Amino acid sequence: MSGLVGKLDPRRIQWGSAWNTFTSRVLRTKPVESMLDSAVSGTSSHGTKLARVLSTVDLVSLGVGSCVGTGMYVVSGLVAKEMAGPGVIVSFIIAAVASILSGVCYAEFGVRVPKTTGSAYTYSYVTVGECVAFFIGWNLILEYLIGTAAGASALSSMADSLANHSISNFMTSHIGTLNGLGKGEQSYPDLLALLIALLVTAIVALGVKNSVGFNNVLNIINLIVWVFMMIAGLFFVNGENWDEGRFLPFGWSGVMQGAATCFYAFIGFDIIATTGEEAKSPNTSIPYAITASLITCLTAYVSVSYFNL
């Protein structure tokens, strides 16, 4: 016991050596060469093999499917009503510019570290170090968790609205309510959102080719709804909303506040970089796919906002 205490004596610890060991482990980076070698051999460091079956069109479809959703159906109306008014168009443009700049960074990293998976986690591991990559990796998990929960909840809410709130009434009367969700109102356990999340998980688990096919079907449905909303909006366009004083009813502060909310609608394009190891030619596919998907999403959001003012 005395020997153990003697070893733990602070005076006997070589603090300089201990600090160098600690910093070297925290700040150590992963060599790009080892990642590229495993990618060329077709096997990752964990012994798994990912099929390179995704073309540029598939990556664009993934990016559009990840971005276009609640932004077109929920965020645009919410921002127009409460924050920016008709200036929501400007809010979407500002958010799109910020997203495109971020996307250019992803594209640059995707070219410098090709045929690897992991997105920002891998890029930070290669350039900054293991400690930063650790936090970014968990932040990515949190991002996807919140994004999946928000999307599933939005789909559940829309289904409940189409069913004349019969789903929520059934849950409230047969299961009960939950308190303390932040708004001082009662809510119910959203089992439908849970089922939607489990269904999407099962589809993704079938393989990237099947999940991309399912994503393409959803994108076609989104395209049909997009065209319908623009045609229907032509009959309700009010030119008076573009007059001076009405276009920015909340001022530029409302536009910037709306841009911060609209930026959420563009989150998801990083999935293109995440699936880089499954792309046929990531050097060219990732930059083109990120740019094309963001421009497509911007066109969808601005057009929907314009034809519904």
Band the pLDDT of 22: cuts 50, 70, 90: low
Q: How confident is the model at residue 12 (pLDDT cuts 50, 70, 90)?
A: low
- Across residues 103-117, what is the average pLDDT? 70
The pLDDT > 90 percentage for the chain reads 0
130-152 pLDDT, tens digit each: 888 888 888 888 877 887 887 78
Burial 9-37 (b: 16+ CB within 10 A, else e): eeeeeeeeeeeeeeeeeeeeebebeebee
Statement: residue 184 has pLDDT above 50: no
Give the separation between CA 196 and CA 212, rounded to whole angstroms. 17
Query: Residue 113: which residues within 8 A CB-CB, separation 6 or more?
Result: 32, 35, 122, 123, 126
Q: What is the distance, to the nearest Å, from the Cα of residue 29 to the centroid of all Cα atoms in its chain?
A: 26
Decide: 110 and 273 in contact? Cβ < 8 Å. Answer: yes
* Residue 108 neighbours by CB under 8 Å, 6+ apart: 287
Taking all residues of the chain, what is their mean pLDDT, rounded to a whole number? Answer: 75
| pTM (whole model) above 0.75 | no
Alpha helices in 113-250 (DSSP H): 120-127, 130-162, 166-174, 191-205, 208-233
CA distance 58 to 56: 5
Cα separations in angstroms, 76 against 67, 139, 183, 201, 305: 13, 26, 22, 28, 6
